[in-house]
């Protein structure tokens, strides 16, 4: 029996010996094979080991920021967050502090309203068989403010993934100029329209990385090698667009769009001395943050159409420059025969025998037909069309510029071109040509890009300077044209009377362009026109040049097409001239000016005493900081300040963020400037929220994002917050 036992034991030992021997032989053979070939599964062993040892971390770069000409931010990369929900119960190690979603129904009811999402839809997502889920478009691009609200709910398992998004703080604002950029399938931000597309090669960023020797858990090994490739931030772009003037334009166009519901609107404001485009807008437009685009072309540069009577400006300039224009000479208005065709004035019957100056004022088609056919000659007029560059693109630094077509084949086309029919041009072509009228004969190339700057080195990579592209007329001719165009606005017969601006001399020309019909001929009806105005001010030495066109507005029976056009032109031109401190012809002291007085200096004074003095003088002091004495102030000493205006005082010591709710944009920017913050705004009106909470310590260079709303919306937001505060107080302990 015992012998049998020993025999079985020996057999088992022998079997184990054979198994271990076989395993060792295979392992030894594998070791020999790896050593001989240096490869495992076809891949070099050394390379695999190096990959396991080498750790890499991405160093994120930032796409370039787009600024206006006063350093206001028009487009920038900002932190954004993607909302995720952890559903895996294994992530929770302490039941008292769960790290996964423990109550999907409760979580959905609290979270869904903040995302604008259906509760049941969110509940279905939260009950999926998955370790982690996202919420689609509802949970992407979460703002910092919304993130804070979600975090305040203290919901288990709800977390955020940090990212960056392209943010356009002003929403629908010079949208076709700035354009937009979005991430592609490789998660790279790429420009798709406007400056974002035009300068994508400058704006685009390139991430860097740091690589080092690490262990299997990703920790750095002592004495290991390290290699750093710095991130390459995108270059910053500075535009000629003036945020203030653009705001005037956007607000005016919004009002007209709401009141008249036109099919299209186009407006451009330029500096005629340089060619800089200070504002450009079209309707319909879009919000680059939402990309709710219905028209993918910038009509200001991509929409050629028959301009109508604004073209008469250049016919007049050609006739004066050639010495063939006599404003006191008379002609018989009403109709003019060109071969088998008859040209008629816009009232069909004309005004009898009138002077050419009155013909300009009344916008007589007959007067300009005579100028082209009998005074200038058709061939010489064609030369001036070329001299004003109506046969070519302006070369403005925006994508997809189109060019009009000079229709000059038939005799009638040569005549109608003189008063803006048949031949087509773009709005930007008219602006460029009109700079010659406003700039004493020198025609300036329009441009919107001021410069491109490397943010790290400060090196200027691209710098645009004013460019004279031609001198189609003399300075004397330009002055004479402006004098006559001023009478279009001031004369009792002038079609431009609605464009008068109190205190300023305006020179310009109205336009009423027919719209071709798909069935042939032109559309009929009192609203089926493109109504426009090309004007400049002050007339004697224009500082601003503006073109406005409104297509097919809905007019009241008592209104003309000048109503919506003049509403935009006069509002924007007057506000812009005042903003640029261009004095009216006759300065009138208003009650507001009487209430202005130079501000004293409070620097070095005790903050408490300075605040008291400001209050006694009728100002509203805003004291920032916990120090005792004032070290900076805005407005600065000597500046004229309106009674009731906020005066920001910064003390020495630690600076704390004030509550900006209710502040105007101007006052909020005072605070940002005093504190050295990098501001960004969203909306217009008064501040309703801010990214840096009140009372928080701030440092120079911090980002400050403020959201603004119109007065009524701000009042509603303030009332809502007051009500919520009162409810929280009522819910508290009672004595």
Query: CA angle, corner 300, sides to 439 and 406, nearest 5?
Result: 75
List the beta bridge partners of residue 185. Answer: none
User: What does 132-190 look like in DSSP terms, one character per residue?
Assistant: EEE-GGGGSSB-HHHHHHHHHT--TTEEEEEEEEEE-TTSSSSHHHH-EEEE-TTS-EE
| Axis crossing angle, helix 104-115 with helix 119-126, rounded to the nearest 10 | 130
CA 64 and chain centroid, separation: 14
Residues 482 and 476: their CA atoms lie apart, in Å, by 10
End-to-end CA distance of the chain: 94
Q: Which helix (H) or strand (E) is 195 found in, with range?
A: helix 194-198
Are 334 and 350 in contact by the 8 Å Cβ rule? The answer is yes
Neighbours of 113 (CB within 10 A): 11
Query: CA angle, corner 319, sides to 317 and 322, nearest 5?
Result: 105
**Cis bond leading into 138, ω under 30°?**
no
Are 317 and 481 in contact by the 8 Å Cβ rule? The answer is yes
Residues 461 and 237: their CA atoms lie apart, in Å, by 10
- Rounded to 5 degrees, φ, ψ at 353 are -85, 120
Residues 84 and 140: their CA atoms lie apart, in Å, by 9
3-state secondary structure of 456: coil
Residues 629 and 646: their CA atoms lie apart, in Å, by 18
Q: Among residues 482, 547, 700, 576, which one has the least CA distance to residue 245?
A: 576
3-state secondary structure of 292: coil
Beta strand extents in 371-476 (DSSP E only): 443-444, 449-453, 460-463, 468-470
Residues 519 and 529: their CA atoms lie apart, in Å, by 16
- Strands 66-67 and 236-239, bridge-based pairing: parallel
576 is annotated as an active-site residue: no
Q: Which of 143, 285, 302, 309 is catalytic?
A: 309
| Axis crossing angle, helix 312-321 with helix 378-387, rounded to the nearest 10 | 110
Are 579 and 545 in contact by the 8 Å Cβ rule? The answer is no
Number of separate helices (H) and strands (E) present in the chain: 22, 33
Beta strand extents in 425-557 (DSSP E only): 443-444, 449-453, 460-463, 468-470, 507-514, 529-537, 544-551
Q: Which helix (H) or strand (E) is 320 found in, with range?
A: helix 312-321
3-state secondary structure of 212: strand
> Quick one: 4 exposed, middle or buried, by C-beta within 10 A (0-12, 13-18, 19+)?
exposed
Which residue in this structure is represented by tokens 């005790």?
606
Q: What's the DSSP call for residue 446?
A: P
Token code pair at residue 91: 């992530």
Catalytic residues: 309
């Amino acid at each position: 029996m015992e012998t049998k036992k020993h025999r079985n034991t020996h057999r088992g030992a022998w079997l184990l010996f054979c198994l271990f021997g076989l395993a060792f032989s295979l392992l030894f053979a594998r070791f020999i094979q790896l050593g001989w070939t240096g490869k495992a599964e076809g891949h070099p062993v050394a390379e695999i080991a190096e990959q396991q040892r080498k750790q890499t971390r991405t160093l994120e770069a930032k796409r370039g920021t787009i600024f206006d000409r006063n350093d206001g931010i028009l487009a920038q990369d900002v932190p954004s967050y993607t909302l995720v929900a952890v559903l895996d119960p294994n992530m929770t190690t302490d039941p008292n502090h769960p790290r996964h979603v423990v109550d999907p129904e409760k979580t959905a009811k609290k979270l869904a309203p903040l995302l604008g999402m259906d509760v049941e839809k969110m509940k279905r997502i939260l009950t999926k068989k998955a370790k982690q889920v996202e919420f689609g478009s509802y949970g992407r691009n979460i703002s910092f403010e919304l993130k804070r609200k979600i975090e305040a709910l203290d919901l288990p398992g709800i977390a955020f993934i940090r990212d960056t998004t392209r943010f356009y703080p002003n929403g629908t604002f010079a949208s076709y100029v700035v354009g937009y950029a979005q991430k592609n399938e490789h998660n790279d931000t790429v420009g798709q329209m406007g400056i974002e597309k035009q300068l994508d090669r400058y704006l685009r960023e390139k991430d860097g990385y740091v690589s080092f020797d690490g262990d299997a858990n990703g920790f750095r090994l002592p004495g290991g090698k390290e290699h750093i490739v710095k991130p390459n931030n995108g270059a910053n772009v500075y535009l000629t667009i003036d945020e203030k003037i653009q705001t005037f334009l956007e607000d005016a166009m919004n009002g007209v769009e709401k009141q008249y519901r036109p099919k299209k609107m186009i407006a451009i404001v330029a500096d005629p001395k340089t060619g800089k485009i200070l504002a450009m807008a079209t309707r319909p437009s879009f919000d680059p943050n939402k990309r709710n685009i219905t028209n993918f072309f910038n009509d200001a540069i991509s929409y050629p159409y028959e301009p109508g009577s604004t073209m008469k400006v250049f016919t007049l300039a050609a006739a004066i420059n050639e010495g063939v224009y006599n404003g006191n000479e008379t002609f018989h208005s009403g109709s003019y025969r060109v071969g088998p065709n008859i040209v008629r004035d816009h009232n069909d019957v004309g005004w009898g025998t009138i002077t050419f100056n009155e013909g300009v004022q009344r916008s007589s088609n007959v007067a300009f037909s005579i100028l082209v056919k009998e005074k200038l000659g058709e061939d010489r007029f064609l030369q001036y069309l070329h001299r004003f560059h109506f046969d070519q693109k302006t070369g403005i630094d925006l994508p997809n510029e189109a060019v009009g077509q000079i229709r000059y084949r038939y005799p009638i086309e040569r005549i109608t071109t003189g008063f803006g029919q048949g031949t087509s041009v773009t709005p930007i072509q008219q602006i460029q040509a009109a700079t010659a009228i406003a700039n004493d004969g020198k025609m300036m190339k329009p441009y919107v890009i001021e410069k491109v700057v490397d943010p790290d080195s400060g090196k200027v990579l691209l710098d645009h300077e004013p460019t004279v592209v031609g001198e189609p007329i003399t300075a004397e001719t330009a002055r004479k044209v402006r004098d006559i165009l001023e009478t279009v606005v001031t004369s009792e017969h002038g079609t431009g009377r609605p464009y008068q601006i109190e205190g300023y001399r305006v020179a310009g020309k109205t336009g009423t362009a027919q719209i071709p019909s798909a069935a042939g001929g032109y559309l009929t009806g009192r609203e089926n026109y493109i109504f426009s105005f090309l004007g400049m001010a002050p007339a004697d030495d224009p500082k601003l040049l503006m073109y406005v066109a409104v297509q097919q507005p809905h007019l009241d029976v008592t209104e003309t097409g000048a109503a919506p056009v003049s509403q935009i032109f006069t509002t924007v031109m007057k506000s812009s001239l005042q903003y640029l401190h261009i004095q009216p012809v006759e300065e009138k002291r208003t009650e507001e000016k009487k209430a202005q007085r130079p501000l004293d200096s409070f620097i070095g004074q005790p903050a408490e005493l300075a605040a008291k003095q400001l209050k006694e003088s009728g100002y509203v002091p805003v004291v920032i900081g916990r120090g005792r004495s004032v070290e900076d102030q805005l407005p600065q000493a000597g500046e004229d300040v309106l009674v009731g205006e906020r005066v920001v005082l910064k003390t020495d010591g630690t600076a704390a963020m004030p509550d900006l709710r209710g502040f105007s944009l101007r006052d909020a920017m005072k605070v940002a400037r005093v504190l050295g913050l990098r501001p960004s705004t969203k909306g217009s009106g008064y501040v309703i929220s801010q990214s840096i909470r009140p009372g928080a310590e701030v440092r120079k260079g911090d980002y400050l994002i403020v959201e603004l709303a119109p007065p009524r919306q701000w009042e509603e937001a303030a009332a809502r917050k007051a009500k919520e505060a009162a409810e929280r107080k009522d819910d508290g302990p009672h004595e």
